[in-house]
Amino acid sequence: MSRYLFWRLLQAIPLSLGVIVLTFLLIRLAPGDPIAVLAGERSTAEYQAQLRKDLGLDQPLPVQLVRYLGSVLSGNLGYSFSLQQSVLSLVLQRLPATLLLMGASLLLSVTLGVWIGVRTAVRPHTLGSNVATVGSLLGYSLPSFWLGQILILVFAVWLHWFPLVGMTSLVRLTGLAYWADVAWHLVLPTLTISAFNLALFARLVRASMREALEQDFIVSARGKGLPSRIVVYRHALRNALLPVVTIFGLNLGAMLAGFVLVETVFGWPGLGRLTFDAIAARDYPVIGGMFVFLSEAVILANLLTDVLYGAIDPRIRYA
């Protein structure tokens, strides 16, 4: 297992470097001149040239790339033009809000999704199963920015059950009251993000559970006289989780991308909102920094997925 882990870690290094190079090139490919935005439209040509020189943007591309690589590797993701702060400190400021939202929606979508998936696989032709199937199809197909706005309209604007936007109320709160306030703000964005993932997991788990329940070792588990609860949740689910874990890892990247829209709709002060604002302001260092940061997060997530995969399936661990 440790050998396997070592090799996976080693593989992650060139991947990470590649991502950084790609980020650099992508930003240079983007239309629009950052100097024009930074200096303002009415600035003089001399000022723009000076700025270009100061920022090193007059150097040939390879030189810029090497400088960029060097600074990223030393932890310097750049300096935000629009927010006048280092990108790294911006990312670290916004990270907790995003992690909170992500944790809440993963908890909700994985636990509920797995449970619904198992139930509908075990009893496929009941009313509850059919409702869950239609519901998951809906959750799977509704775009999150639209769903978010509808939730805001119904539960915040009409019913006043939940706040409109933000992560905290304007009043200063401390201790338990503060966290209760955050939780209250958390409900709608969590539901919005979870709808897709919940549906995804419910459908995935149902499909792989139905397959697992058809296996011969389920017959022998029942033949041992194990109660169906153990047959389903121990023998079948453990096998059914393998494909689910794979998709989970692959989907984390897409999920992070979805945060850009959902955080914007809900005014959630996280990384997604930061990215959106940076794109609007053409704040290239922030966009680039976010790119690198999110890519590394995805690489890390995939690494964790592989480790998890090995933990579930011994055949992979010892291969």
Partner 1 sequence: MSGEARSAANGEAVLEIEDLRTSFRLRRGTVRAVDGVDLFVRRSERVGIVGESGCGKSTLALSVMRLIQTPGASITGSVRLGGLDLLALAEDEMTQVRGARVAMVYQDPYTFLNPVFRVGDQIAESLIAHRGMSIADARTETLALLAKLQLPQPASIIDAYPHQLSGGQRQRIVIGMAIACRPALLIADEPTTALDVTVQAQTLRLIGRLVADLGMSLLLISHDLSVIAALCDRVYVMYAGQIVESGPVEALYGGARHPYTSALFGATTTLLDPKREFTVIPGAPPDLASPPSGCRFAVRCPHRMDRCAQPPPPFAAGPGWDARCWLLDETADASARR
Interface residues toward partner 1, by CB under 8 A:
215-217, 219-228, 230, 235, 238-239, 312-315, 318
221 or 286: CB nearest partner 1 = 221
Q: How far is the CB of 231 from partner 1 (least distance, A)?
A: 9
Residue whose C-alpha is closest to residue 131's, from 230, 202, 216: 202
130 or 220: CB nearest partner 1 = 220
Q: How far is the CB of 312 from partner 1 (least distance, A)?
A: 6
CA–CA separation, 271 and 269 (whole Å): 7
67 or 238: CB nearest partner 1 = 238
For 312-318, which contacts have Cβ atoms below 8 Å and span 24 or more sequence positions? 312/238, 312/241, 312/242, 312/245, 313/242, 317/1, 317/4
**To which residue do tokens 């920094």 refer?**
289
CA–CA separation, 79 and 88 (whole Å): 8
32 or 225: CB nearest partner 1 = 225
Amino acid at 167: M
50 or 215: CB nearest partner 1 = 215
Q: How far is the CB of 125 from partner 1 (least distance, A)?
A: 9
CA distances in angstroms from 298 to 87, 252, 289, 314, listed in the order given: 19, 7, 14, 24
1 or 280: CB nearest partner 1 = 1
9 or 230: CB nearest partner 1 = 230
